[in-house]
Chain A
Amino acid sequence: MVLTVSKVLIGKTSHPGVAEGEVLVLTEPVSFWGGVNHHGEIIDVHHAQHKAKMTNKILVMPSGRGSSSATAVLAELIRTGDGPLGIVMLQCDTILVIGALVSAEIYGISMPIVELAQAEYDQLTDGMNVAIAADSQSQVATVTL
């Protein structure tokens, strides 16, 4: 009998929610405004993952970048279903947290954002499937590989 042992990474809740999906790792931050179009594709020509699509993925990136209108772009992506299912970051980005908070207020969709320390963050690789559970009360978040 083969036992599947799943690994659980512990981090901090930046925005509560649950999600499960395939990981898309960005090697550098992307600005949602000007860097991502309404279909969830990276259109920033300077970006290493130019043309990658984040729709229905667990987006993993080190930090935030660029325009503060990223809040509205993220909220709109969440509204239309073209956005990521969850976001994992090394350094929590307030701008993205706001987009998630407003989507929860207006549309009742709670997209988790999780902050992980470097050692845990480094275990996430492109294409793997993970499940995120980010709790509001305890502010403890888990990423299950």
Chain B
Amino acid sequence: MSLAPMQLVLSDEETAMLAGEHGEAVAMCMRIIVGVAKANGAEKLIEIESAHADGTLYHGEAGLDFTEKLVALGGKVKVKTTTNVGSLDLLHPTLVHGDEITMAHGRRLMDAHIALGCEPTWSCAPYQAGHRPAFGSHVAWAESNAIAFVNSVLGARSDRYGDFLDLSAAVTGRVPFGGLHHDAARKAVLVLDFSNIDSKMFSEDAAWAALGVLLGNKAGTRVAAMVGLPGDLADGGVTEDRLKGMGATSASAGGVGLFHVVGITPEAPTLAAIVAPNAEHVVMTAQDVREARDQLSTTTSDKLDAISLGTPHFSVDEFRAVAEAIGDGPKFAKQIDFYISTSRDVLARSKDLGYLDVFTNAGGRVLTDTCTYVTPVLNQNVKNVMTNSGKWAWYAPGNLGIDVVLGSLTECVASARAGRVVRDESLWS
């Protein structure tokens, strides 16, 4: 920390924006951007190519007051802006049974984003619903999993933005030149070495959730490089979805905005390409992964009421994997509520490809536009829930007051059929 404040220099256009010459909405957003730039010691602002707005989920009146104020002041987004999940499933309105005020205000909040010119994506995985920024481009994304993904897996550049700054950036087309927009800040100061672990352990999705906990715990908000992990981003989506799940979990357990997986993610063809001088080097063991996994289960009971997949939102490839796991086997046990959360874009494509019908015919239900751990979707009697999502497992016990068991996608399907938790311990040896 330096006590001498860096002098922020604005361009003539930015100065005009701040002075209200582009309207009061732009001026308010510029005050917020400049406030953050000063806090972070940024020297200048930079232009962005796109934004992902996270303020679509209703958390109380503050978010609604801010967004409706922008609308009232005539605000419009300047760049392509997708929307994160909302508090309602607009396609399946009966699935969410929230209180009246949350539903009404949640709807107003979603409407206000549309009025600002945002696209109605309603997804925490916009990167799998048609919004994939180019390598090296500067963007302003909010929603912690999307930030980790856009930085790490796509190699675009976003700092860890949140509600309000995302819209402020979209309306001004600017962000402070700071944090992960800088080359130097993208270097790994921590190296997690998995080379000594049999790669068989990483053959199921649940292991990547456990890796996310390890990454979040070890890295906090630091940039880490992981070495010794298997995968290939050109393998038809398997590795991409694993990194999606790992990144989401690491952003929940820690504050990870960027990670590198050497040999897999685009900025890290080699460790030398992305490692900072004097980086800390930590050798990980199979026991570390098992202990991280255990942090994602709150019970050892085999009782099961529901299964929830799709946090972050399910991809078309994950729907294919579920359809393959179901095959022409038996339906899910009647007492099990099996939900998958996804975007309306992925829903439509998975339906066209026939994967969706396999899942719904087996007894599953699909939720769009929102997610099962941020809105009241699960039946009130539900106490024990299984998931393959580390992020869901991290937050749901606190949010929903339920017990959670982490399992792989195949274990979730087997458990849904059995009506109780079925886990294959041999995966973790």
Contacts and interface: CB of A to CB of B under 8 A. Distances in A.
Interface string A64-86: 11111111110110111000000
B60 A14 contact: no
Q: Interface size bucket, A side?
A: 35 or more
B221 interface: yes
A66 B63 contact: no
B163 A98 contact: yes
A11 B220 CA distance: 23
B97 interface: no
A105 B28 contact: yes
Nearest to B176: A94
Contacts of A48: none
A107 B55 CA distance: 18
A95 B397 CA distance: 24
Contact of A65 (B5, B61, B165, B255): B255
Contact of B60 (A38, A43, A44, A67): A38
Chain A interface main SS type? mixed
B404 to A, nearest CB: 11
B160 interface: yes
Interface in A101-145: 101-103, 105-107, 113, 115-117, 138-140
Interface stretch (B35-43, B329-337, B353-361): B35-43
B398 A72 contact: no
A5 to B, nearest CB: 23
B40 A15 contact: no
A57 B380 CA distance: 35
Nearest to A44: B398
Given A66-B251, A102-B66, A46 B164 contact: no
Nearest to B29: A105
A95 B1 contact: no
B275 to A, nearest CB: 21
17 contacts: A12-B1, A12-B5, A15-B35, A29-B220, A45-B298, A45-B398, A46-B295, A63-B220, A67-B144, A68-B144, A72-B163, A75-B164, A76-B60, A79-B65, A98-B163, A98-B165, A106-B66
Interface of A: 10-15, 29, 31, 33-35, 38, 43-46, 63-73, 75-76, 78-80, 91-95, 97-99, 101-103, 105-107, 113, 115-117, 138-140
